[in-house]
Amino acid sequence: MINPTTPVQDDSETNYHNNSGSLRSQMSRGYIHGDKDCPNFPCHHPDQNCTFCFCPLYPCEDPLLGEFVVSKRTGGNVWSCQGCHWMHRDDVAASLFKMMPEVGPEGLDLKVRMELKERLQGKHRRRAKAIMVLGATSGAGKSLMVTALCRAFRNRDLTVAPFKSQNMSLNSMVTDQGEEIARIQDLQAKAAGTRPRGELNPILLKPKGGVTSQIVVEGRPYRDTTVQEYYSKFVPDEAPAIIARNLERLMRSNDVVVIEGAGSPAEINLRGRDVANMYVAKLAQADCLLVVNIDWGGAFAYAVGTLALLDDGERKLFKGIIINNMCPGGGTIGSLDIIERKTGVPVLAVMPHLPKLYLPVEDSMDLSLHEGGEGATVIAIVRLPMISNFTDFDALGLEDNVRVVYANEPSELNGASAIIIPGTKNSVTDLKWLKESGMATAILERAGKVPILGICGGYQMLGRRIMDVHGLEGGVSAEVEALGLLDAVTHFDSYDKRTVQVTGTLDKAGGTVRGYEIHMGRTERGEASPLFIMDPDGRGEGMLDEKGLVMGTYLHGVFDLPAFRRYFLSLMGGPSSIATEAMDQDAAVDASLQRLAKEIEEHIDLDALMGDDDDA
Amino acid sequence: MRKLMVQGVTSGAGKTTLTAALCRHFFMKGMDVVPFKAQNVSLNSFVTDDGGEIAISQAYQAWASGIEPTRNMNPVLIKPKGSGQCQIVLDGRPWKDIGRGGTNQEMIEEIRSHILRSFDDLCLGRDMVVIEGMGSPVEMNLKDRDVSNMWLAKAVRSPVVLVGDIEKGGVFAGIYGTYLLMDEEERDLLKGFVINRFRGDASILGAGIEELESRMEMPCLGVLPYVRFSSPQEDSMDLRQISGGVRGEGDVRQRWIKELDGLLEKWEGTWDLSKVEGLVDRV
Q: Does B262 contact chain A (CB < 8 Å)?
A: no
Query: Which segments of A437-528 does DSSP mark as H helices, in order?
Result: 439-446, 457-462
Q: Does A334 contact chain B (CB < 8 Å)?
A: yes
- Closest to A595 measured CA to CA, from A299, A327, A352, A251: A352
Q: Which residue of B has its CA nearest to A232?
A: B204
Q: Does B6 contact chain A (CB < 8 Å)?
A: no
Q: What is the pLDDT of residue A55?
A: 87
Rounded to whole angstroms, how far apart are CA atoms B211 and B46? 43
User: How near does any CA of chain A get to the CA of B180, in Å?
Assistant: 7
B2-8 and B128-132: which strand pairing? parallel
The counts of H helices and E strands in chain A are 18, 30
Q: What is the pLDDT of residue B179?
A: 98
How far CA B101 is from CA of A153, A297, B40, B113, in Å, comes to: 39, 20, 19, 21
pLDDT tier at A10, thresholds 50, 70, 90? very low
pLDDT tier at A352, thresholds 50, 70, 90? confident
**Domain residue limits, chain A:** 11-123, 129-359+595-610, 377-574
pLDDT tens digits, A16-33: 445 566 777 788 888 888
Rounded to whole angstroms, how far apart are CA atoms A323 and A299? 8
CATH superfamily name and code, A129-359+595-610: P-loop containing nucleotide triphosphate hydrolases (3.40.50.300)
pLDDT tens digits, A322-331: 999 887 655 5
pLDDT tier at A320, thresholds 50, 70, 90? very high
Rounded to whole angstroms, how far apart are CA atoms B276 and B266? 17
Q: How many CA atoms lie within 13 A of B211 on its CB side?
A: 17
CA angle A12, A15, A17 (to 5 degrees): 110
Q: What percent of chain A has pLDDT over 90?
A: 49
How far CA B238 is from CA of A272, A426, B35, B42, in Å, comes to: 35, 29, 20, 11
Q: Which residue of A has its CA nearest to B143?
A: A335
pLDDT tens digits, A57-87: 888 899 999 999 998 888 889 999 888 999 9
Of A244-248, B78-82, B118-122, the one with minimum mean pLDDT is B78-82
Q: Does A338 contact chain B (CB < 8 Å)?
A: yes
> pLDDT at residue A332 above 50?
yes
Rounded to an integer, the average pLDDT of B48-76 is 92
State the architecture of B2-280 in CATH terms. 3-Layer(aba) Sandwich (3.40)
Chain A residues in contact with B178 by the CB 8 A cut-off are: 298, 301, 305
Contact partners, residue A314, CB within 8 Å, separation at least 6: A265, A278, A281, A282
Q: What is the pLDDT of residue A583?
A: 59
Where residue B94 falls (left for φ over 0; alpha for ψ -120 to 50; beta otherwise) is beta
**Beta carbons of A259 and A280 less than 8 angstroms apart:** yes
- Closest to B71 measured CA to CA, from B123, B118, B8: B118
B76-82 and B39-41: which strand pairing? parallel
The reply to whether A456 belongs to the active site is yes
Q: Between chains, do B208 and A303 touch, taking CB under 8 Å as contact?
A: no
pLDDT tier at A128, thresholds 50, 70, 90? very high
Q: Does residue A360 have a cis peptide bond before it, meaning omega lies within 30 degrees of 0? A: no
- Of residues A366 and A420, more confidence is placed in A420
**Domain residue limits, chain B:** 2-280
Q: What is the pLDDT of residue B219?
A: 95
Q: Considering the candidates A84, A150, A456, A519, report the single residue annotated as catalytic.
A: A456
DSSP E strand stretches across chain B:
2-8, 33-36, 39-41, 45-47, 53-55, 76-82, 85-90, 93-98, 128-132, 160-165, 190-198, 220-225
Q: Does A327 contact chain B (CB < 8 Å)?
A: no
Rounded to whole angstroms, how far apart are CA atoms A31 and A160? 21
State the architecture of A377-574 in CATH terms. 3-Layer(aba) Sandwich (3.40)
Chain A residues in contact with B12 by the CB 8 A cut-off are: 296
Q: What is the pLDDT of residue B123?
A: 96
> pLDDT at residue A396 above 50?
yes
Rounded to whole angstroms, how far apart are CA atoms A67 and A52? 19
- Closest to A418 measured CA to CA, from A407, A429, A426, A428: A407
User: What is the complex's ipTM, to 2 decimals?
Assistant: 0.91
Rounded to whole angstroms, how far apart are CA atoms A261 and A265? 8
- Closest to A201 measured CA to CA, from A262, A152, A148: A262
Which of A270, A306, A331 is facing B170, going by the closest CB pair?
A306
Contact partners, residue A270, CB within 8 Å, separation at least 6: A231, B208
Which of A227, A297, A303 is facing B177, going by the closest CB pair?
A303
The SS3 of residue B262 is helix
> pLDDT at residue B112 above 80?
yes
Rounded to an integer, the average pLDDT of B252-271 is 84
**Beta carbons of A288 and A310 less than 8 angstroms apart:** no
- Count of positions (residues) in chain B: 283
The string of DSSP codes covering B138-169 is: T-GGGGGG-SSSHHHHHHHT--EEEEEEGGGS
The interaxial angle of helices B206-216 and B171-180, nearest 10 deg, is: 0
- Closest to A180 measured CA to CA, from A220, A207, A147, A143: A220
Q: Does B177 contact chain A (CB < 8 Å)?
A: yes
Q: What is the pLDDT of residue A147?
A: 95
Q: What percent of chain B has pLDDT over 90?
A: 61
Q: What is the pLDDT of residue B116?
A: 98
Q: Which amino acid is at A14?
A: T
Q: What is the pLDDT of residue A611?
A: 83
**Beta carbons of A363 and A140 less than 8 angstroms apart:** no
φ/ψ of residue B97, rounded to 5 = -95, 145
Rounded to an integer, the average pLDDT of A85-100 is 91
> pLDDT at residue A8 above 60?
no
Most confident of A167-171, A215-219, A558-562: A215-219
Q: Considering the candidates A88, A370, A519, A556, report the single residue annotated as catalytic.
A: A556
Q: Which residue of A has its CA nearest to B209?
A: A269
Rounded to whole angstroms, how far apart are CA atoms B201 and B270? 11
Chain B residues in contact with A135 by the CB 8 A cut-off are: 169-170
Q: Does A366 contact chain B (CB < 8 Å)?
A: yes
pLDDT tens digits, A276-311: 999 999 999 999 999 999 988 999 999 999 999 999
Q: What is the pLDDT of residue A126?
A: 94
Q: What is the pLDDT of residue A612?
A: 60
A452-455 and A478-481: which strand pairing? unpaired
The structure's pTM equals 0.79
Between positions 492 and 531 of A, the ones with CB within 8 A of B are: none
Most confident of A78-92, A198-212, A280-294, B97-111: A280-294
Q: Mutation test of the interface with chain A: which of B9, B168, B179, B197, choosing the one with the most A Cβ atoms within 10 A?
A: B168
Q: Which residue of A has its CA nearest to B244?
A: A408
**Beta carbons of B17 and B232 less than 8 angstroms apart:** no
Query: Which segments of A426-514 does DSSP mark as H helices, in order?
Result: 427-436, 439-446, 457-462
Q: A191: burial class by Cβ within 10 Å (0-12, 13-18, 19+)? A: buried
> pLDDT at residue B239 above 50?
no
Q: Which residue of B has its CA nearest to A263?
A: B169
Which of B168, B172, B181 is facing A300, going by the closest CB pair?
B181
Between positions 122 and 151 of A, the ones with CB within 8 A of B are: 135-139
**Beta carbons of A83 and A252 less than 8 angstroms apart:** yes
**Beta carbons of A597 and A443 less than 8 angstroms apart:** no
Chain A residues in contact with B10 by the CB 8 A cut-off are: 296-298
Q: Does A296 contact chain B (CB < 8 Å)?
A: yes
Q: Does A328 contact chain B (CB < 8 Å)?
A: no
- Count of positions (residues) in chain A: 616
The DSSP code for A450 is: B
pLDDT tier at A365, thresholds 50, 70, 90? very low
Mean pLDDT of chain B: 87
Rg (CA), chain A: 27
The reply to whether A81 belongs to the active site is no
Q: Which amino acid is at A303?
A: A
- Of residues A60 and A11, more confidence is placed in A60
Rounded to whole angstroms, how far apart are CA atoms A34 and B198? 51
Q: A154: burial class by Cβ within 10 Å (0-12, 13-18, 19+)? A: buried
Q: Does B176 contact chain A (CB < 8 Å)?
A: yes
Q: Between chains, do B170 and A136 touch, taking CB under 8 Å as contact?
A: yes
Rounded to an integer, the average pLDDT of A512-524 is 86
How far CA A550 is from CA of A156, A448, A507, in Å, comes to: 48, 7, 15
> pLDDT at residue B283 above 60?
no
Q: Which residue of A has its CA nearest to B134?
A: A297
Chain A residues in contact with B200 by the CB 8 A cut-off are: 227
Which helix (H) or strand (E) covers residue A381, if one does? strand A377-382
